């Protein structure tokens, strides 16, 4: 089930809600108004970050090149 962000046209409240189908009616959580707009959301991916991708800094296991992606050099 997707999680969507909405903004109420009547009271201006922003809220998130799970939407089970495209035909689902969504109402403001603060004032119960059905006059809401779905907002453009940005999702985040949580994970480890490195300054250089592993394929550029790790030795190649296949051809013994000093870096991955450098086969034949």
The token duo for 56 is 């550029």
Question: What digits encode the pLDDT tens for the residues 25-66?
Answer: 899 999 999 999 999 866 666 665 555 555 455 666 667 666
The token duo for 15 is 């809220």
Q: Which residue has the higher pLDDT, 41 or 2?
A: 2
For the chain, the C-alpha Rg in angstroms (whole number) is 23
The span from the CA of 3 to the CA of 61, in Å, is 41
The residue extents of the domains of the chain are 1-40
pTM: 0.53
In the 8-state DSSP scheme, what is residue 56?
H
CATH of domain 1-40: 2.20.28
């Amino acid at each position: 089930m997707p999680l969507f962000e909405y903004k109420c046209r009547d009271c201006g409240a922003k809220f998130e809600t799970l939407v089970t189908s495209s035909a689902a009616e969504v109402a403001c959580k603060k004032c119960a108004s059905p006059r809401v707009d779905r907002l453009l959301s940005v999702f985040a991916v949580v994970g480890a970050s490195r300054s250089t991708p592993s394929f550029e800094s790790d030795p190649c296991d296949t051809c013994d090149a000093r870096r991955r992606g450098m086969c034949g050099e």
